[in-house]
Amino acid sequence: MKKSWNLAVVGVTDTLGSQMIECLEERDFPVGKIKYLANSRSAGQIMEFKGKPVVVEKLSHDSFAGIDIALFSAGSSLSEEFCPVATGSGAVCIDISGAWRMDSMVPLVVPEVNAHAIVQYTGKGIIACPNSSTIQMVVALKPLHDYGRIRRIVVSTYQPVSGTGKKAIEELRTQTIDLMNGRPAKCKVYPHRIAFNCLPHAESFCDSGYTKEETQMADETRKILAADIRITATAVRVPVFYGLCEAVNIETEKKITVAMARELIATAPGLKLADDVANNVYPLPSDATGQDLIWVGRIREDESIENGLNLWVVADNIRKGGATTAVQIAEILIENCLK
């Protein structure tokens, strides 16, 4: 008989938390008991797991007794406070926030790229997921890096509002309706109107002039792929609900032809090649939304350098960019590490 595991999902009522529940159901994760945890405003709500009602409980220091795995999707401050509480109760934490990503004792994991690092969870009992931008980029680049070793990355991201959460999704919807009906758009989540607009501003700005999102992409990619990769990023918020797009330029030590890049990507796990520009085939957010493959296309040589390639990479930022990756890590954890 297959063993079941007791799970807690923290931040269950927000976009990522709700998607995590859906992924657990779809992938038939062997759940014994499941707890839904959120703040006091959401406590008491009734949600479901596989058709059965589950009452959302208020997150507290007593929430993790008897829990084997705690999936955190609740923001950095709550993860910083409650992950140690959960591990102190015997749970392993898988955290989607940025709280633990750069901790040297916490593995930063993307299953298709460095699943071997999961065993390092014993340092603090925590496994971190990168941000959605990093996840889809490193999965797309892993086969190219293995073949030709990447020296430098220049990436521009086009990020949907769902990455900011439910309030941002509603703001785009409301602003679009208001503008189409001749009413002024009201800004609450973002500093400027997002409807019919683009904001070169994802997360807060650092003293360097980069945003936190851009800095995270560089730091996380180096931790996952190779410490000596040079990388610079520009993150742009766009008026799209779901589906994160990236224009990625790489320089490699070994020459990778377009034909070879296509072959490597077409045969790598988690990737889907969509690269036939003669027939207008290239990745679109509408293609990637609602499933877990990372779409890659527009592969072409960068003619300005000797060993350069350009790629266009698209994925569902809520599913593969967070929820599915966390559940995949939990699957590997119970298969290889927990007894």
Domain of residue 82 covers: 5-129+322-336
Q: What is the pTM of this model?
A: 0.94
Q: Do residues 181 and 307 share a domain?
A: yes
The enclosing domain of 265 has a CATH number of: 3.30.360.10
Q: Do residues 137 and 167 share a domain?
A: yes
What number is the average pLDDT over the span 245-255? 98
Q: Do residues 177 and 275 share a domain?
A: yes
Q: Do residues 218 and 272 share a domain?
A: yes
Q: Do residues 59 and 143 share a domain?
A: no
The model's pLDDT over 58-103, given as tens digits with 9 standing for 90+, comes to 999 999 999 999 999 988 999 999 999 999 999 999 999 999 999 9
| Number of domains making up the chain | 2
Q: Do residues 139 and 123 share a domain?
A: no
In the sheet that 52-58 helps form, which strands lie side by side, from edge to edge? 46-49, 52-58, 31-38, 5-10, 69-72, 92-95, 126-128
Q: Do residues 146 and 253 share a domain?
A: yes
The enclosing domain of 14 has a CATH number of: 3.40.50.720
Q: Do residues 250 and 119 share a domain?
A: no
Q: Do residues 169 and 247 share a domain?
A: yes
The model's pLDDT over 96-110, given as tens digits with 9 standing for 90+, comes to 999 999 999 999 999
Q: What's the count of helices (H) and strands (E) in the chain, helices before strands?
A: 9, 13
Report pLDDT for 2: 61
Residues 6+ apart with CB under 8 A from 147: 254, 256, 260, 264
Q: Do residues 236 and 101 share a domain?
A: no
d(CA 30, CA 24): 9
Report pLDDT for 63: 96
Q: Do residues 297 and 331 share a domain?
A: no
Q: Do residues 233 and 137 share a domain?
A: yes
